[in-house]
Structure 1
Amino acid sequence: MGFMKKADFQLYQDADKHYEQVLGTRDFLALGVGTIISTSIFTLPGQVAAQFAGPGVVFSYLIAAVVAGFVAFAYAEMSTVMPLAGSAYSWISVLFGEGFGWIAGWALLAEYFIAVAFVGAGFSANFQQLLAPLGFHLPAVLANPFGTNGGVVDIISFLVILISALIVFRGASDAGKVSQVLVVLKVAAVIAFIIVGITAIHPSNYHPFIPPHNPKTGFGGFSGIWSGVSMIFLAYIGFDSIAANSAEAKNPKKTMPRGILGSLLIAVALFAAVTLVLVGMHRYSAYEGNAAPVGWALQQSGYSVLSEIVTIIALAGMFVALLGMVLAGSRLIYAFGRDGLLPKGLGKMNKKHLPANGVWALSIVAIIIGAFFPFAFLAQLISAGTLIAFMFVSLGIYSLRRREGKDLPKAAYKMPLYPVLPALGFIGSAFIFWDLDANAKIYAGLWFLVGLVIYFFYGRRNSKNLETEKSKENIEGVGTLN
C-alpha cells in the first residue's frame, strides 16, 4: 500500500466491532477531566509563574486553552463521523493516507509513553513528600530513577503504573467507574482550595500583573506568557484520550462532543481559578522550583490539614490521569497492530474483547521510561507529539467536509466557523511547537526518524491494508479472466 493510499473506513469500522459500547458521557467527562486536571494543575502553575510569567501565568493557561479549544472542535466532529480506535491515527489514515496516519499516530504514541511515565513520576514525588513528615523515607536506590540522586528504580512510579494497567486490563467500564469516583473527589479538592485560598489572598501580590520583560532571562511581558504556553500546553492533552476510546462509546454522535468539549470547559475554568488564587496567596517568586505549590501555599497560610487532604486527593487525581492515558494509549497500539504496522499480536483481543497486549506493551515501555529518565526531562517532551497530531487533525477537517455524507457518514456535530477555525487550530499548534525547548524538538525529530524507519522496513510491508488491496486486485483479475 502506498504512503498516500487512503485506508478504507469500513474496514476499520468492521475491525473495531469487537469493542463493547459501554462508555457514556459521564465516563468520558471523568476520563477527560481526570486526564487534564492532573499533574499539571498541582505542579505547573507556580513554576511557570516563577520562571516565565508572574501573575500573568493565567493568560498562559487561557491562550493554551484557546488553541486547544480550536482543535477540540475538530476532534469532536471527527469522532462523530469516525468513532474508531486510535483517534488521529485512524482518522488521518482514512483522510490523507496510511503513511500520514502513521506519522500522526507515532506522534501520539510518544505522547502516551512519556505522559504515563511523567504522571507516574509526579505521583511518586508527591507520595514521597506526603510520607516524609511521618518519618517514612525510601532508600535512594528505590526512590529515584536510574542515575538520579543514587537511584536505580522509582519503585512507587513502577507500582502505580502497574496498578493502573491492571484496572484498565479488567475493562474500560471498570476504569470509567473508578475515574468517576476519583474525579469527583479531585474537583471537590480543587474547589476547596479555591474557596479557602481566596481568604488568604494579598492583593499586592498581583502587582504588576504582567511584570516587565527581562531580555536576559526571558521572564515577563508577553514573551514570558508565551513561553509559559509552551510549557503548560501538555495540560490539555486529555481530550485526545477521549477520542481514542470512541469505538467504545455509547451513541458516539452525542457522547463524544459532550465529553470532549465539556471536559475542556471544566478544565479551563478550574485552571484559571487555581492559578489566580495561587499567585494571590504568595508572591510568584516564592514558587521557584516548587513541585507541589498548591499544598505548599495552603501549609504556609496556616491550613496544614487541608494541605494534606488536597495532596492526598491530588494523588488520586494523578491516578485517574494514568487510567485515562493507559486506556487511550493501549487503543492506539491496538490500532497499529490491527493494521499490521506493528506486530499483529498487539492488535489481538483477549477473551473479554479487550486489547490486553496493547495495555501491557504501553505500560511496560512507560515503566522503563519512568525508571530511567527524570521528571523534568519527561516534561519537556510531552507536548511535541501532541502538537503534531493536533496539526494533522486541524487540516484533516478540510478533507473530512468534502467526504461527509458520501463515502463517510454524515457528521452529527460540526465545528463552528468553518473554514476559519481549523486554520486557527493548525497555526496556533504550529506556533506553540516552534517555541518548544530545542531539546524537545531534537528528540521529537529522532523519534520520527525511528518511526519512519519502522514504517518503511516493517509496517508498509506488513500492512493489512496492503493485503486488502492485493485481495481486491486478485478478485478483479479473476473477474476479468472470467
Structure 2
Amino acid sequence: MEEHGVKEQGALRRTLSARDLIVYGLLFIGPLAPVGVFGVLDAKSNGAVALVYVVATIAMAFTAISYAQMSRVVPEAGSVFAYASAGLGAGAGFLAGWLVMLDYLLIPSVAYLFSGIALHALFPAVPAWAFTALAFAVTTALNVSGVRLAARVGLVVLLAEVTVLAVFVVMAVAVLVGEGPARPWLSPFTGVGGTTVAAVIGAVSVAVLSFLGFDAIASFAEETSGDSRQVGRAVLLCLGVAGALFAVQTYLAGVLDPVPPAELAAHPAAQGTAFYDVTGVAVSPWLATLMKIAKAVGPAFAAMAAVAAAGRLLYG
C-alpha cells in the first residue's frame, strides 16, 4: 500500500484507470481477431457468422460476470490462482495458477512467432526471426519500463487497429449502399439458405477463442486506481465492446462475400484468407494489405499484455 506518497516495499503501484484495463483487455483480444477465423466460421455455420459471434458473446458473458464477482470479493493480482485458493483451497489454487500460467506463456510465444512470420511475408527481405526478435525486444522493454507506459503505448496500437477496422466498416457500407450485397442481407444471422443449431454451436466453439485474453484484466487488480468493482466493470465492458466489434465486421464481410459457404467448406485452404479475399475483391486491395499489417503487428502487443499478466500471476 502507499501512504503519504511512500509505497510499501514489494507492493504494486495503483496507477491503472478503467480505460487502461480495457485497453489491456482489448489489446490481448485484438479488435481484428475474427479476421483469421472468418472463413472457418463461415463454412461451419453456413454463412451465419454474425449470429455465431452474438451467441459466443452471450456464452462468454457468464465467464465475464463470474470474473467480475470474484475480482470484487478477492481483489488480488493472482486472478484465477487467488480465486481458486480462496474458494477451493491452496491445492486447487496452486493447480489452477500453473494451468493458467501455461496459457500466458504459450500464447505470447505463438504470438511473437506469428508476428515474425506475418511481417516476413509482407517484407521478404527481412528474415522472420529478425521480426520476431524485434517484437519481443520492443514489448519486453515496454513491460520493464512500467505498466503505465506500456498501457499508453498499447492504447496507441489499439487505436491504430480500431482505425483500420473503422475504415473497413465505412468502405464496406459505402460498397453496400452503392452496389448492394453479394449475399442476402440477413444471411449473417440466418445462414445462406438456412443453418442449424448444431452448425452454429460447432462454430461457436471456435469463435470463443477470439475472446481469449479478456480475463487477463483481473490480474491487474492490485494496480487499479479505483475501488474493487473497477476490474469487474472493465471485464464486462471489454467483452461487450469486443462482441460488438466482432459482430459488425463479420456481418459486413458476410454480406459482401461472393464465395458461397459450401465452396469454402469444400476448400479448407481458402478459409484462412477468406476475410482478406473479401476485403480485397469487394472493398479495396490496399485495405486488405493494411489489415494484414495490422494483424501482423497486433499479436506482438497482445503478447505484451499476456506477459504482463503472467508477471502479475507469479507475483500473486
**Shorter-chain TM-score range:** 0.7 to 0.9
Report what 1:299 is aligned to.
280
The unaligned stretches of length 5 or more in structure 2 are 1-7
Aligned to 2:42: 49
- The one of 13, 21, 42 equivalent to 1:20 is 13
Structure number with greater CO (CA < 8 Å, separation at least 6) is 2
Contact 1:46/1:278 (8 A) holds in 2: no
How many residue pairs get matched? 298
Deviates more, 1:154-163 or 1:221-230: 154-163
Residue in 1 aligned with 2:150?
175
2:28 equivalent to 1:35: yes
What pairs with 1:104-115 in structure 2 (closer than 5 Å)? Answer: 104-115=96-107
Q: What are the Cα deviations for residues 318-375 of structure 1, in whole angstroms up to 9, with x where unaligned?
A: 333122111112221333xxxxxxxxxxxxxxxxxxxxxxxxxxxxxxxxxxxxxxxx
TM-score by length of 1: 0.57
In the TM superposition, what whole-angstrom CA distance separates every residue of 1:120-171 from its partner, at most 9, and x where no partner exists?
Answer: 233234323333xxxx355xxx54xxxxxxxxxx553344234322211221
Give the secondary-structure state (helix, strand or coil) at the position aligned to 2:272. coil
Given that 2:64 and 2:236 are in contact with CA atoms closer than 8 Å, whether structure 1 keeps it comes out as: yes
AA of the residue aligned to 2:248: A
Displacement after TM superposition at 1:270 (Å) = 0.3
State the partner residue of 2:4.
none
Q: Which residue of 1 aligns with 2:244?
A: 269
Matched residue of 1:18: which SS? coil
Structure 1 unaligned regions, length at least 5:
1-14, 144-153, 214-219, 336-482
Mapped pair 1:198 → 2:173: yes
> Does the Cα contact within 8 Å between 2:78 and 2:219 map onto a contact in 1?
yes
Structure 1 residue matching 2:46: 3-state secondary structure: helix
Q: Separation in 1 of the partners of 2:17 and 2:297?
A: 22
Residue equivalent to 1:328: 309
Q: Report whether the alignment pairs 1:69 with 2:35.
A: no
Contact 2:68–2:235 (CA<8 Å) still a contact in 1? yes
TM-score by length of 2: 0.84
Query: RMSD of the TM alignment (CA)?
Result: 2.7
Q: Which moved more, 1:223-232 or 1:304-313?
A: 304-313
Counterpart amino acid of residue 311 in structure 2: S
CA distance in 2, matches of 1:16, 1:237: 33
- Distance 1:332-1:79 versus aligned 2 partners, 3 A rule: same
After superposition, the C-alpha distances for 1:57-107 in whole angstroms (9 at most, x for unaligned) are: 222222221121111112112212222112011111122101111222222
Contact 2:18/2:234, CA 8 A, preserved across alignment: yes
Are the counterparts in 1 of residues 72 and 232 from structure 2 also a CA contact under 8 Å?
yes
Aligned-partner Cα distance in 1 for 2:274–2:9: 43
Within 5 A, what are the aligned runs for 1:226-237? 226-237=201-212
Alpha-carbon distance in 2 for matches of 1:16, 1:62: 45
Q: 1:137 to 1:262 in 2, by over 3 A?
A: same
Asked if structure 2 preserves the Cα contact closer than 8 Å seen for 1:62 and 1:268, the reply is yes
Q: Distance in 1 between matches of 2:76 and 2:31?
A: 26
Q: Percent identity?
A: 23
